[in-house]
Structure 1
Amino acid sequence: MLLLFVHSKAQTVTGRIVDSEKQSVVMATIALQTLDSINICATTADADGRFVLTADSIPLPFRLIVSSIGYETVMPECASYAVGDVVLATKTNVLGDVVVKSKRPILNVQGDRIVADASSIIKGRIVTCAFDVAKYVPGILCKNDNELSLAGTMSTTVLVNGKVWNGGSVLEYLKTLPAEKVSKVELLYNASPDMHVTGAVINVVLKDNKGRELTGQVKSSYYNNHHNTFQESGSLFYTTPKWSLYSMYTFADAKSISRSQYLSHHTVGNQVYDIDVDARTHSSSLTHAVYTNATYNVSDKSNVSLSYNASFSPKSDTKGRTTNSYFSNSNYTTSGNSYMHNLHLAYVLKQLRLDANYMSYSNDGTQDMNYEKYENPTAYSYWRKQTSDRFNFSADWGFPLWKTARFSLGATYAYSKTGNRQK
Structure 2
Amino acid sequence: MRKGILFASFITFISAVAQTEATDTISTRQLDEVVVKGEKPQVKGKDGIMVVDLPGIVKDKPVTNILEALGYMPGVTNNNGMIWLTGASNVTIILNGELTNMPLQNLYQLLYNTPVDRLKNVEIMYSAPAKYHVNGAVINVVLKTPTPLDGLQGQVRAGYNQAHYGSYGGVLAATYAIKDWTFDLNYGLTRSKSWSREETWSNHLYDGKRTMIEDDMRRIGQNWNNTIFASASWKTLKLTYNGQIISDSKSWSLSSGTLGNYTNAYNMLSPVGYHNIALRYAAPFGMTVGGDYTHYSENRSQSLFKDADYLLGSENRQAIDRWHVYVDQQHQLGQWQLNYGAEYQHSKDHSSQHYAMSDNPDFDDILSEDVASFYAGTQRSFDWGLSFNLSAKGEYYHNKYQHNWNFIPQFGATYYKTPKSIFQLNFNTQRIYPSYWELHGGTSHINNYSTIVGNLQLQPYIQYDAQFNYILRQKYVATFYFQYGDKTTVQLPYQSPDAMNLIYQTINMNYKRVVGLNLYAPFGVGYIWNATATANVFNQREKADHFHDIGFDNSKWIFYGEFSNSFKFSQNCPVSLTVDFSYISPSLQGIADLSSIWKVDAGVKWQFGKNRCCELDLKADDIFNKWSPTMTINHAGQDYRMKVRDMSHNLKLTFIWRFNGFKPKETNIDTSRFGTGK
Match of 1:153 in 2: 88
Quote how far apart the aligned CAs of 1:266 are. Answer: 7.2
Question: Is 2:158 aligned against 1:220?
Answer: yes
1:107-134 CA distances to partner (integer Å, 9 max, x unpaired)?
3222231223456546666765444654
Cα RMSD for the two superposed structures = 3.2
CA distance in 1 between partners of 2:166 and 2:59 (Å): 35
Match of 2:346 in 1: 415
Quote how far apart the aligned CAs of 1:362 are. Answer: 0.5
Question: Is 2:253 aligned against 1:315?
Answer: no
Distance 1:379 1:171, change over 3 A: closer
1:394 partner letter:
Y
Whether the 8 Å contact between 1:209 and 1:242 is mirrored in structure 2 is no
1:3-39 CA distances to partner (integer Å, 9 max, x unpaired)?
xxxxxxxxxxxxxxxxxxxxxxxxxxxxxxxxxxxxx
Whether the 8 Å contact between 1:387 and 1:418 is mirrored in structure 2 is yes
Quote how far apart the aligned CAs of 1:284 are. Answer: 1.5
Trace 1:359-370 onto structure 2 (pairs within 5 A).
Answer: 359-370=294-305
Distance 1:155 1:270, change over 3 A: closer
Whether the 8 Å contact between 1:122 and 1:133 is mirrored in structure 2 is yes
Distance 1:389 1:367, change over 3 A: same
Match of 1:290 in 2: 228
Trace 1:196-235 onto structure 2 (pairs within 5 A).
Answer: 196-213=133-150, 214-235=152-173
CA distance in 2 between partners of 1:324 and 1:218 (Å): 47
Match of 2:48 in 1: 112
Trace 1:330-345 onto structure 2 (pairs within 5 A).
Answer: 330-336=262-268, 337-345=271-279
Quote how far apart the aligned CAs of 1:293 are. Answer: 0.6
Q: Which runs of 5+ in 2 are unaligned?
A: 1-15, 23-38, 355-678
Distance 1:226 1:410, change over 3 A: same
1:145-202 CA distances to partner (integer Å, 9 max, x unpaired)?
x233332211111111111122263343334434444333211111111111111111
Question: Is 2:338 aligned against 1:386?
Answer: no
Q: Which moved more, 1:260-269 or 1:342-351?
A: 260-269
CA distance in 2 between partners of 1:266 and 1:209 (Å): 62
Trace 1:8-407 onto structure 2 (pairs within 5 A).
Answer: 70=21, 105-117=41-53, 120-121=56-57, 128-131=64-67, 134-144=70-80, 146-167=81-102, 169-213=106-150, 214-262=152-200, 275-297=213-235, 303-325=236-258, 327-336=259-268, 337-350=271-284, 351-371=286-306, 379-401=311-333, 403=335, 405-407=336-338
Whether the 8 Å contact between 1:230 and 1:254 is mirrored in structure 2 is yes
Whether the 8 Å contact between 1:134 and 1:204 is mirrored in structure 2 is no
2:94 partner letter:
L
| Identity of matched residues, % | 25
Q: Secondary structure of the equivalent of 1:194?
A: helix
Distance 1:288 1:112, change over 3 A: same
Match of 1:86 in 2: none
Whether the 8 Å contact between 1:105 and 1:121 is mirrored in structure 2 is no
Q: Secondary structure of the equivalent of 1:105?
A: coil
CA distance in 1 between partners of 2:55 and 2:197 (Å): 46
Quote how far apart the aligned CAs of 1:356 are. Answer: 0.8
Quote how far apart the aligned CAs of 1:280 are. Answer: 2.8
Q: Secondary structure of the equivalent of 2:331?
A: strand
Quote how far apart the aligned CAs of 1:287 are. Answer: 1.2
Quote how far apart the aligned CAs of 1:215 are. Answer: 1.1
1:342 partner letter:
N
Distance 1:202 1:216, change over 3 A: same
Quote how far apart the aligned CAs of 1:70 are. Answer: 4.6
Quote how far apart the aligned CAs of 1:271 are. Answer: 8.8
CA distance in 2 between partners of 1:397 and 1:409 (Å): 5
**Greater relative contact order (Cα < 8 A, sep 6+):** 2
CA distance in 2 between partners of 1:269 and 1:127 (Å): 56
Match of 2:551 in 1: none
2:314 partner letter:
Y
Whether the 8 Å contact between 1:393 and 1:414 is mirrored in structure 2 is yes
Distance 1:136 1:334, change over 3 A: closer
Quote how far apart the aligned CAs of 1:324 are. Answer: 2.8
Distance 1:358 1:187, change over 3 A: same
Whether the 8 Å contact between 1:69 and 1:104 is mirrored in structure 2 is no
Q: Secondary structure of the equivalent of 2:148?
A: coil
CA distance in 1 between partners of 2:205 and 2:121 (Å): 61
Q: Secondary structure of the equivalent of 1:197?
A: coil
Whether the 8 Å contact between 2:18 and 2:73 is mirrored in structure 1 is no
CA distance in 2 between partners of 1:398 and 1:384 (Å): 45
CA distance in 1 between partners of 2:127 and 2:21 (Å): 26
Q: Secondary structure of the equivalent of 2:345?
A: strand
2:163 partner letter:
N
CA distance in 2 between partners of 1:400 and 1:269 (Å): 71
2:41 partner letter:
P
Distance 1:270 1:173, change over 3 A: closer
Distance 1:120 1:270, change over 3 A: closer
Quote how far apart the aligned CAs of 1:67 are. Answer: 10
1:229-272 CA distances to partner (integer Å, 9 max, x unpaired)?
11221111112341211111111111123344456777999998
Q: TM-score, normalised by structure 1?
A: 0.66
Q: Which runs of 5+ in 1 are unaligned?
A: 1-64, 72-102, 298-302
Distance 1:221 1:353, change over 3 A: same
Aligned pair count? 317
CA distance in 2 between partners of 1:322 and 1:226 (Å): 18
Q: Secondary structure of the equivalent of 2:281?
A: strand
CA distance in 2 between partners of 1:111 and 1:264 (Å): 52
CA distance in 2 between partners of 1:175 and 1:378 (Å): 40
CA distance in 2 between partners of 1:170 and 1:108 (Å): 26
Quote how far apart the aligned CAs of 1:371 are. Answer: 3.6
